[in-house]
Amino acid sequence: MVYPSSQTKQIEVVSYNSVWPEMFEEEETYIRQVLGDNDIDVHHIGSTSVPGLAAKPIIDIIVVVKDPKDSITALESIGYTYKGEQHIPFRFYFNKTGAVKFHLHVYEDGNPEIELNLTFTNHLRNNPDVCAEYAALKALLLTKKESFQKDPSRFSGYTLGKNDFIRGVLQKAGFSRTRLMHCLHDYEWETAKAFRQRYFFDKIPVADPYTWTFNHPDHVHFVFSRGVDIVGYAHIQKWPNARAALRIIVIDEAARGLEFGEEFLGLCEKWLVMQGIKTLHIESSPEAHDFYAKHGYTDMPFNDPDGHEGFPQDIPLGKAL
């Protein structure tokens, strides 16, 4: 069954095909051969890996490796096209089209996205009632016109409509890892907006004057989650000359004292390094100065290329990444 979207893209969902696991196993062999010593594990995930579940006829595969960068050339040699992270930090995403479509999600060993995907897939496999509920939800979304419209994140409503269900399954299954995520779905954006207002703009007090950054390519909005609950938010602005500014980073009051701030900052830094950023700049409040100093930030001119002036009490700091 093929449903046309408002963007001319088609969403095709078909009945379960018992050949899908065989297609995965054949492709797994090719993947392991070309990756060699870089290969750690390969997993069939997504709806095509759940017996009896209708799905888009695309074989989704997680590939766990020692070094994702070293996988690019090897996977391209067997017909895959590298697409970058595609909205998921630290993911190396590939696809291959032909008689069979394959999507590869390549992660460094230990990445929490591996456990998240396996937890969700295994829960569907082991709980037929939950699997049936998921199938009914997908069928319902395919009947709704708004499911094919796209928001600024470039995700279809069909994809966005499944998010609450997926979060619920992960919670029931006990998923508890911490993750860095781009703001994509309504839950993430609404939580980010609430954190911005509560911890920053209510103190002035003004309504958030920078909501325009939510759809600007130079501005990155991250949330940090523990399990399915968001406990932190960060706003980063990319600057010219391989520089970036950490405009906001905050951990929710209820989650403080658990070293989430240190982990969140470290993940932001790691992601920026992958984007080619060389220095990260902060205008720190006096109260936060010791935290940043502990993590390698020193006195460094802020030099905002947009000419915005910070608060007089703020301290300009920076770090070479």
pLDDT digits (tens, 9 = 90+) for 45-102: 999 999 999 999 999 999 999 999 999 999 999 999 999 999 999 999 999 998 899 9
Relative to beta strand 10-12, strand 2-4 is antiparallel
pLDDT of residue 9: 54
pLDDT of residue 157: 59
Cα angle for residues 40, 41, 42 (degrees, 5° grid): 145
266 φ/ψ angles, rounded to the nearest 5 degrees: -60, -40
- CB-neighbour burial class of residue 133 (10 A; exposed 0-12, middle 13-18, buried 19+): middle
Q: Which of 273, 317, 272 is nearest to 299 (CA)?
A: 317
Domains of the chain: 2-172 (3.30.460.10), 178-320 (3.40.630.30)
* Per-residue confidence band for 161, with pLDDT thresholds at 50, 70 and 90: confident
Q: Which of 136, 193, 192, 195 is nearest to 161 (CA)?
A: 136
pLDDT of residue 264: 98
pLDDT digit string, tens, across residues 253-307: 999 999 999 999 999 999 999 999 999 999 999 999 999 999 999 999 999 999 8
Alpha helix ranges (H) inside the chain? 20-35, 71-76, 112-126, 128-142, 157-160, 163-172, 186-199, 260-274, 289-294
Q: What is the mean pLDDT of residues 237-265?
A: 97
Sequence letter at residue 18: S
pLDDT of residue 201: 94
* Per-residue confidence band for 155, with pLDDT thresholds at 50, 70 and 90: very low
Cβ atoms of 61 and 27 closer than 8 Å = yes
Query: pTM to 2 decimals?
Result: 0.91
Question: Collapsing DSSP states into helix, strand and coil, what is residue 143?
Answer: coil
pLDDT of residue 169: 97
Q: Which of 121, 120, 133, 117 is nearest to 48 (CA)?
A: 121
